[in-house]
């Protein structure tokens, strides 16, 4: 049978987070129990991904984790999000 992804870490072009996530989901590669970790949600930012997760509590257990931007010379706030697929 078809396998699914257990853990997906996304940290690429932020405007592609949602379309790439949706492609994987539609292909059946993200299944119940799959964990998705999304980095740099505040900077440079992926507000569409945050909105998708927050709008779909029946589909995802969503936990945002405040953090600091890596490699920065300042204390710039950032966010890492963890979603576990419910369906």
Selecting among 26, 58, 70, 75, the annotated active-site residue is: 70
Selecting among 14, 26, 48, 61, the annotated active-site residue is: 14
Q: Count the residues in the chain.
A: 87
Selecting among 20, 26, 39, 59, the annotated active-site residue is: 39
Rg (alpha carbons) of the chain, rounded to whole number: 13
Residue 61 annotated to the active site: no
Selecting among 11, 54, 61, 77, the annotated active-site residue is: 11
Residue 58 annotated to the active site: no
Residue 20 annotated to the active site: no
Question: In this structure, are residues 81 and 50 in contact, taking their beta carbons and an 8 Å threshold?
Answer: yes
Q: Report the alpha-carbon distance of residue 45 to residue 60 in Å, rounded.
A: 20
As annotated, the active-site residues are 11, 14, 39-40, 70
């Amino acid at each position: 049978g078809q396998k699914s992804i257990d853990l997906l870490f996304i940290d690429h072009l932020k405007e592609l987070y949602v379309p790439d996530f949706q492609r994987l989901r539609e292909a059946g590669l993200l299944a119940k129990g799959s964990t998705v970790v999304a980095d740099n949600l505040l900077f440079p930012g992926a507000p569409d991904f945050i909105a998708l997760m927050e709008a779909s509590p029946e589909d995802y257990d969503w936990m945002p984790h405040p953090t600091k931007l890596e490699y920065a010379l300042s204390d710039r706030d950032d966010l890492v999000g963890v979603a576990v697929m419910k369906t």
